[in-house]
Chain A
Amino acid sequence: MLQYILRRAAVGLLMLLALTVLIFTLLRLTPGDPIDAYINPSVPMSASDLVVLRTRLGLDQPLPVQYLAWLGAAVTGDFGYSIQRGGEPVLPLVLGRIGPTILLMFSGLAISVVVGIATGILAAVRRNELTDLSLSTAAFVGISSPAFLTALLGLYMFAVVLRWVPAGGMLTPGAPFSVGDLMAHLILPAVLLSIGHGALIMRYMRSSLLEVLSQDYVRTARAKGVREFWVIVKHAVRNALLPVITLIGSTIGIAIGGAIFIESVFDWPGMGLLMINAVVRRDYPVIMCATLLTGACVILVNLLTDIAYAAVDPRIKVA
């Protein structure tokens, strides 16, 4: 087993290395570099100043030299300085963004799971009634609504028109930190993030529960005189949840994508906003570090999953 883990870990490291080469190469294939992002095309600027800046940032070196220099520093934990942020060190900058993204992502996920499962159960037990039809219609709308549209509409309605929640950011600028302030800023993006995912869970939960409710053991339970509430909660829902849990696990990646989008609409200071800004400004040190950390997280989760499978199911060859 240890050998299996070590082998998988080694493969994971190689994948990370390949990822950095790929990202580095792709970034440099795009037209424009950090200096080009510095220049406002409408503001006349001397090119000789920019040549000096390019040299100072090492952008005049051949690509392999630049990559090896980056890699050499990165293995020692030095990810350099952000080019566009007046020399802010990259590692603390990127690490500081993981928390807000996880908070937003898991809040959205929690809401979508709770609401999705609850409404799925409700729709299944009220099959073909008005409740079911209403919830199913709402779910279809939720699934088919583009995220950018729901995010912008939600922002306009609840922040601009009704003024129930702030229009963006994670905390009120200048105000002392408070959980209440954080939650007030979190609730709208989290709810909007949960819409598509929650609707999908609702559909899965409904169909899964309907299937289970037609099983013999449910009929047997009812015949034995078990009350309907317990039939559903104890016998049916538990079994119906299995495919839904698989769905939730497999769509966490989609939730990360959604969180990145919501972050840019709501100015939520997470990894998504950081990466979008870094890409727009061609801030290579930030892009590389953020990509490396995100990639490491995905590879780590996959590794843990594989190890868990191997531990749970001896049929998976580990030798």
Chain B
Amino acid sequence: MHRRNFGRLLAAATFALAVTTAMVPAPVAAQTEKTITGGFDVGPGGFPGNFNPQTATAGFTWLNTYFEPLVIYTSDLSKLVGALASDFAVGEDNLTYTFKLVETNWHDGKPFTSADVKFTLELAKNAESGSIFAARLAGIASIETPDEHTAVVKLSKPNSAFLSVLSQVMMLPEHALSSMDVKEIAKSPWWSTKPVGTGPFKFTKYVSDQYVEMAAYDGYRGGRPKVDRLINRYFANPAAAVSALSAGEIQFTFAEPDDAKTFKGNDNFRVIEGDSYVVNYIGFNHRAGIWNDLRVRQAVMHAIDRNAIISSLFGGAAKLANCGYVAPQLVPKDLSDYAYDPQKAKDLLAEAGWEKINGDKPIPWLTYYNTPQVANVMAAIQAMLAQVGINVVPRALDVPSYNGIVRSEKWPDFPLVYAGLQNGPNPASLNVGLNAAQIPPAGNNIMRVEMPQLTEALNTAMAETDPAQADAKWQQVCREMNAQLPWSPMWVASRYGVVSGKLQDFFWTPAPGGGPFVSHPEKWDIAP
């Protein structure tokens, strides 16, 4: 072939390539407006695509940028303070809650009043609206509105968890929603097209599966936000969000521990580390029949070198848990620490007659955690349990499959799980998972724990509304858990967020379900 002819051929091919790619110009120039873009719904605290706060189990970090509850946790999650309630008080009967409301307007200019509070709480209490708070607010006997800026809520019986639940109930505008059929409210396009809240940012646009955009609300009572726009980008997984953060396209995201490590020591980023408030445990299915003997459950605790796992697999970023809590005020000093002692584990199993109970038959061990770290943790525990004669076989499932199995009655499918349960900031959250009255289908006690003393301790603590007395009651719950081992508590791992160095006055805490907590989005700023 002549070189000249070949050259023409090559030129033709190059031209064809050029035609395909010539239209690709440089990316769009940076916006002049101040914009913060983040992956606010990435990770366990997010709930992408759900804009109705009454059907959301998480995602409150983002929802709280435009909706607000009456009361809210401080950013360290230590106590509840007023949000849309300027002041609140609990009556001596422990049944009457009086909320004084702030003077503010909805994003559409209408005033926020006690009628909105009454409307919202009644809607949240009505299960027909699809609200996930219905059962938790069932104890509301009445809601009175003596004037526009006062709402009085009366309960039928004392509930120490009431204010904590209320912190996730975002106030909604009566004037915008009251004309809708209650059963249709959850399906309404209002939530994703024109919702109005009272928060520092107002809803502008939702591009399905891509992002939500907010604009600064000039009339916010805390002052106009410092940035003009806030964008919440959606990602298929945390790794994709971390890539976007590394590439400078977003300024914040949740990060898995391994990803967070790569940002440590990098001056362009700030790593936020905090308590996940989720206690990880090895859950015994109490109806499986093989865990009935307390000595077997104690043996599991003694067989696992938790300190070694925390130091080697968590890199020290986890706290040991000897009951369902780790907050110091809820954990008494006299707990057994179930130190690593494989010989003691073997002796306990021998005393209990483990050979006859199960022996070396494989025990399926389910989890819904699909991270490499948990796979390593479970492999380590599998090896440790094998050394004392307990043969567990880890199996990771997707969340719906896991929930489908553990909420059903399929005992052989889940004699053992590796799971987590929120243990704060409201200590009452464990009641749903451990009280005998909460065994499915009534509640969320998926391990079917039926321990009378533990149930009694939970009931006593639940009814205690005096904060000074409550901690002692919750300590008793912790004591019962430690002694009876309804589960083998393991640890509470740290959770991470990574922030671009460009962000200023940005508050975030790895709160359960994303909070909400006092995060002052109106103060967030970004350097040019």
- Enumerate chain A interface residues (CB-CB to B < 8 A): 30-34, 36-53, 56, 81, 84-89, 93, 96, 110-111, 114-115, 117-119, 121-122, 125, 155-156, 159-160, 163, 165-175, 178-181, 183-184, 186-187, 227-230, 232-233, 264-265, 267, 269, 273-274, 276-277, 280-282
Q: Which of B13, B429, B431 contacts A122 (CB 8 A)?
A: B13
Q: How far is the CB of B68 from chain A (nearest CB, A)?
A: 19
Report the minimal beta-carbon distance from B343 to chain A, rounded to whole angstroms. Answer: 34
Query: Which B residues form the contact surface with A (CB < 8 A)?
Result: 1-2, 4-6, 8-10, 12-14, 16-17, 20-21, 23-28, 31, 35, 37, 44, 49-52, 55, 57-58, 127-128, 130-136, 183, 186-189, 191-192, 207-211, 213, 229, 231, 233-236, 240, 243-244, 246-249, 278, 368, 397-408, 419-422, 429-433, 438, 440-444, 512-513
Closest A residue to B206 by beta carbon equals A88
Query: Within the assembled complex, what's the spacing in Å between the Cα atoms of A165 and B26?
Result: 9
A31-B404, A86-B192, A166-B249 given as contacts; is B235 within 8 A of A267 (CB)?
Answer: yes
Q: Are A228 and B5 in contact (CB under 8 A)?
A: yes
In the complex, 14 of the A-B residue pairs with CB atoms within 8 angstroms, ordered by the A residue number, are A33-B400, A42-B44, A49-B127, A49-B132, A52-B127, A53-B127, A88-B189, A96-B208, A155-B243, A160-B243, A165-B27, A166-B249, A184-B25, A229-B5
Q: How far is the CB of B34 from chain A (nearest CB, A)?
A: 12
- Determine the distance from Cα of A196 to Cα of B17 in the docked complex, in whole angstroms: 17
A187/B24 contact (C-beta < 8 A), A44-B422, A174-B213, A229-B6 known: yes
Q: Which of A48, A114, A174, A227 contacts B35 (CB 8 A)?
A: A174
Chain A residues with CB under 8 Å of B128's CB are: 52, 56
Given the interface pairs A111-B20, A118-B16, A180-B24, the reply to whether A51 lies near B189 with Cβ below 8 Å is no
Tell me the smallest distance from the CB of B497 to a CB of chain A, in Å: 17
Query: 8 tightest A-B contacts by CB?
Result: A229-B5, A32-B400, A87-B187, A118-B13, A32-B404, A36-B403, A44-B432, A46-B135
A117 to B23, CA, bound (A): 21
CB–CB B513/A180 < 8 A: no
Interface contact A36-B407, CB-CB below 8 Å: yes
Known pairs A31-B405, A47-B440 / 16 extra A-B pairs, C-beta < 8 Å = A41-B403, A43-B513, A44-B422, A44-B430, A45-B57, A84-B49, A86-B49, A89-B189, A111-B20, A121-B9, A167-B249, A173-B207, A173-B233, A174-B35, A267-B234, A277-B236
Tell whether, in the assembled complex, residue B13 and residue A44 are in contact, meaning their CB atoms are under 8 Å apart: no
Q: How far is the CA of A230 from the CA of B5 in the complex (A)?
A: 8
Q: How far does the alpha carbon of A280 sit from the alpha carbon of B397 in the complex, in Å? A: 11
Select one of A37, A41, A50 contacting B419, CB under 8 A: A41
Please tell me if the beta carbons of B247 and A166 are within 8 angstroms of each other in the complex.
Answer: yes
Hey, which chain A residues are within 8 Å of B443, CB to CB? 46-48
Q: Give, as a whole number of angstroms, the nearest-CB distance from B50 to chain A.
A: 5
Of chain A, the residue at the smallest CB distance from B37 is A173
Q: In the complex, what's the smallest C-beta–C-beta distance from B63 to chain A, in angstroms?
A: 12
Scoring A88, A93, A181 by chain B CB atoms within 10 A of each residue's CB, the highest score goes to A88
Q: Which residues of A contact B440 (CB under 8 A)?
A: 47
A273 and B236 form a contact (CB under 8 A): yes
From known contacts A48-B134, A174-B37, infer whether A232 and B243 are also in contact, taking CB-CB under 8 Å. Answer: no
In the bound complex, how far is the Cα of B6 from the Cα of A37, in angstroms? Answer: 60
Q: Let me know if B186 and A40 touch, CB within 8 A.
A: no
Task: Report if A45-B432 is in contact (Cβ < 8 Å); known contacts: A87-B191, A96-B208, A181-B28.
Answer: yes
Q: A183 touching B25 by the CB < 8 A rule?
A: yes
**B27, B44, B210, B430: the one within 8 Å of A173 (CB):** B210
Q: Is the CB of A39 within 8 A of B403?
A: yes
Q: Closest B-chain residue to A93, C-beta based?
A: B208
A40 near B31: Cβ-Cβ < 8 Å:
no
In the complex the two chains form, what is the Cα distance from A46 to B213 in whole Å? Answer: 32
State the CA gap A199–B397 with chains docked (Å): 36
C-alpha spacing A43/B432, complex, angstroms: 10
Knowing A86-B52, A125-B6, A228-B1, say if A41 contacts B420 (CB, 8 Å): yes
Give the chain A neighbours of B135 by CB distance below 8 A: 46, 48-49
Known: A30-B401, A85-B49, A88-B208. A168 touches B20 (CB 8 A): no
The one of A40, A89, A169, A227 in contact with B57, judged by C-beta atoms closer than 8 angstroms, is: A40
Contact A39 B57 (CB under 8 A): yes
Q: Contact: A167 with B240, CB < 8 Å?
A: yes
A230: chain B residues within 8 A (beta carbon): 5
Whole-angstrom CA separation of A117 from B26 in the bound complex: 28
Tell me the nearest residue of chain A to B229, going by C-beta.
Answer: A174
- Most chain B CB within 10 A, of A46, A86, A89, A282, is at A86
A-side contacts of B31, CB under 8 Å: 174-175
User: Is the pair A41, B240 in contact by a Cβ cutoff of 8 Å?
Assistant: no
Closest A residue to B428 using CB positions: A44
Kindly state the separation between the CA atoms of A119 and B187 in the bound complex, as whole angstroms. 53
Bound form: Cα–Cα A267–B438 in Å: 40
**Could you tell me if B5 and A227 are in contact, using CB atoms closer than 8 angstroms?**
yes
Q: Cα distance A45–B132 when bound, in Å? A: 8
- Contact B133–A31 (Cβ < 8 Å): no
Asked if B24 contacts A184 (CB within 8 A), the reply is: yes
Q: Report B308 CB to chain A, min CB distance, Å.
A: 24
Chain B residues, Cβ within 8 Å of A168: 235, 240, 243-244, 249
User: Is A49 in contact with B133, judged by CB distance below 8 angstroms?
Assistant: yes
- Which listed residue (B209, B213, B429) contacts A274, Cβ 8 A? B209
Cα A42 to Cα B442 with chains together (Å): 18
Chain A residues lying within 8 Å of B512, measured Cβ to Cβ, are 42-43
A159 interface neighbour in B44, B127, B188, B247, Cβ under 8 Å: B247
How far, in angstroms, from A122 to B404 measured CA to CA in the complex?
A: 57
Partner of B130, one of A39, A53, A179, A280: A53
Measured CB to CB, the nearest residue on chain B to A230 is B5
Q: How far is the CB of B64 from chain A (nearest CB, A)?
A: 17
Q: In the assembled complex, which residues on chain A have CB atoms less than 8 Å from the CB atom of B49?
A: 84-86, 88
Cα–Cα, bound, A37→B209 (Å): 17
A232→B13 CA distance, assembly (Å): 13
Please tell me if the beta carbons of B55 and A86 are within 8 angstroms of each other in the complex: yes
Asked if B422 and A49 make an inter-chain contact with CB atoms under 8 angstroms apart, the answer reads: no
- Chain B residues near A233: list those with CB within 8 A: 9, 12
Q: Beyond A47-B444, A48-B135, A87-B188, is A42–B52 a contact (Cβ under 8 Å)?
A: no
Residue from A32, A52, A88 within 8 A of B398 (CB atoms): A32
CB contact under 8 A between A232 and B9, given known A88-B189, A276-B236: yes
Alpha-carbon distance between A168 and B338 when the two chains are bound, in angstroms: 48
Q: Please state if B404 and A33 are interface contacts (CB–CB under 8 Å).
A: yes
Q: Do residues A114 and B20 form an inter-chain contact, with CB atoms below 8 A?
A: yes
Contacts of A89 in B (CB 8 A): 189
Q: Is the CB of B432 within 8 A of A122?
A: no
Chain B residues positioned under 8 Å from A232 (CB to CB): 1, 5, 9
Query: CA of A44 to CA of B10 in the docked complex: distance in angstroms?
Result: 65
Measured between alpha carbons, how far is A34 from B50 in the docked complex, in Å?
A: 14
Most buried by B among A45, A121, A170: A45
Are B422 and A43 neighbours in the complex by a CB distance under 8 Å? Answer: yes
Distance A165 CA – B233 CA, assembled complex (angstroms): 17
**A121 & B420 in contact (Cβ 8 Å cutoff):** no
Q: Quick check: B13 and A52 within 8 Å, CB to CB?
A: no
One of B8, B21, B28, B368 near A229 (C-beta < 8 A): B8
Question: Contacts of A280 on B, CB cut-off 8 Å?
Answer: 398, 400
Q: Would B208 and A56 count as touching, CB distance under 8 A?
A: no
Contact in complex: B209, A277 (CB < 8 Å): yes
The answer to whether B231 touches A40, judged by C-beta atoms less than 8 angstroms apart, is: no
Minimum Cβ distance to chain A for residue B473 (Å) = 18
Q: Once the chains bind, are A49 and B421 in contact (CB under 8 Å)?
A: no
Among candidates A110, A111, A125, A186, residue contacting B1 with C-beta atoms closer than 8 Å: A125
Q: Which residue of A lies closest to B1 (CB)?
A: A228
Chain B residues near A187 (CB, 8 Å)?
21, 24
